[in-house]
Amino acid sequence: MKKDQLLTRRRALLAGTAALGAAGAAGAAGMFALGTGDAAVGPAAPAAGPPARRPLNPSAHRLQPLAGYGPPRAVRHLPPVRRAPLLRVSGLGRTVVLTFDDGPDPRYTPAILDTLAEYDVRAMFFVCGEMADAHRDLLARMADEGHVVGNHTWSHPLLTRLRRSRVRAEMERTCDVIEAAWGDRPEWFRAPYGAWNRAAFQLGAELGMEPLAWTVDTLDWTSPGARTIVSRVEDGAAPGVVVLSHDAGGDRSQSVRALRDYLPDLLDSGYRVAVPRRRY
């Protein structure tokens, strides 16, 4: 083949490739524009040239969005490994943080959620994995109503008597259940019985959780009576305090009744009831 024939053939091939590339770019622009929700402003100007091709119907052979995948999550930075748990929350002004441990329990947790919703306040629930797994609907309700869910291990063991691998399993398994039912992995952890050790602090940090204890212990698990619980909360109220109560692990009817009394009293006294924010 002569040189001029080769040049003519090469020009033809390049022209065909450019045409295909322009068509592919136009198709890609149309595909990414679909579903944006942008409304047209005014009548569209008539298109020049040949009429645009009608979009193809969806096909099993065309790429579709992956189900269950949304925008990429922000990278979570791991908290520091602490040597002691946080006891109160600073920087929130005249605020009290209410926390409830051991649930969720369908006998008491719904009533507590009802009272919190009545006064439009948020609380923290440190749940046990086995209870959360059995009552995921209550964790979903906590998420819907803006409450914070923390990790209280799977079976409420005394961590100081467990091997490190068992402590991790107790914490990690509960994280998985919380994420499945509440919608995100927990950012706070509380050791059962308040028994902390080095492994609990290290593993909690590795799993992205801050250790939170409490400032005011209502001792409601001893069934002291609703009036006594109310007095302990109101006497201990101060900016940044964390109040410990329970919504499971026994008869918690006194805790339910006490909340109905001390919550409006706290609000009337000028306190806000809120949940803490992450510090990192």
Tell me if 105 sits within 8 A of 248, measured CB to CB.
yes
Q: In the 3-class helix/strand/coil scheme, how is 25-70 assigned residue by residue?
A: HHHHHHHHHCCCCCCCCCCCCCCCCCCCCCCCCCCCCCCCCCCCCC
Which member of 105, 220, 246, 247 is catalytic? 246
Nearest alpha-carbon partner for 178 in 208, 143, 144, 213:
143
3-state SS class at 216: strand
What totals of helices (H) and strands (E) does the chain contain, helices first?
Answer: 8, 8
3-state SS class at 244: strand
To 5 degrees, how large is the angle CA 179–CA 114–CA 213?
A: 55
Which member of 101, 133, 220, 247 is catalytic? 101
- Does 61 participate in catalysis according to the annotation? no
Tell me if 119 sits within 8 A of 95, measured CB to CB.
no
Question: Quick one: how far is CA 217 from the chain centroid?
Answer: 26
3-state SS class at 269: coil
Q: Which two tokens stand for residue 130?
A: 């086995």
Q: What single-letter DSSP state applies at residue 155?
A: S
- Does 135 participate in catalysis according to the annotation? no
Would you name the residues annotated as active-site residues?
101, 246
